[in-house]
Amino acid sequence: MKILVVDDNNSVTELLSQFFKLKGHDCIATNDGKDGLSLCFNTKFDAIILDLAMPEFTGKDFIDSLIKEGKIKNQKIIVLTAMPLGDVIIEDHYHGICEAIQKPCDLAFLLKTVESLDVVV
């Protein structure tokens, strides 16, 4: 799978990038929401792991930009957040969000969640 990780915490992006690569996936990571958005506009990812609480350009800004540019369709977004999960709207796959997972998370659970997404070729 081709996975994009967008999180402002460098330790998180490094860990997840290495982890997914060790599990045989192609993973690109960025610590900047705008860079992640640019990558999303130019590359089709099977899954996007997105932090909601980033400075300057939040995960919500990321999703809103995908909607505005007509690029939200068929996105498979997993929100990875330190916010209480009750504050994250995921009903009816709200704007491409397939799952919300609270930090810190179990990597095996995250891997299982990513690999369970229906991949559209």
* pLDDT computed for residue 77 by the predictor: 92
- Of 7 and 104, which is predicted with more confidence? 7
* pLDDT computed for residue 103 by the predictor: 84
How many Å is the Cα radius of gyration of the chain? 13
Whole-model pTM: value is: 0.87
Report pLDDT digits (tens) over 39-88: 999 999 999 999 988 999 988 899 989 989 888 887 899 988 877 666 55
Share of the chain above pLDDT 70, in %: 85
Q: In 3-state terms, what secondary structure has residue 44?
A: coil
Q: Which CATH number fits domain 2-116: 3.90.1300.10, 3.40.50.2300, 3.30.70.2190, 3.40.50.300?
A: 3.40.50.2300
Cα distances (Å, whole numbers) of residue 114 to 4, 6, 69, 79: 11, 14, 25, 11
Separation between Cα atoms, residue 114 and residue 48, nearest integer Å: 9
Q: Under 8 Å CB-to-CB from 95, ≥6 apart: which residues?
A: 63, 66, 67, 72, 77
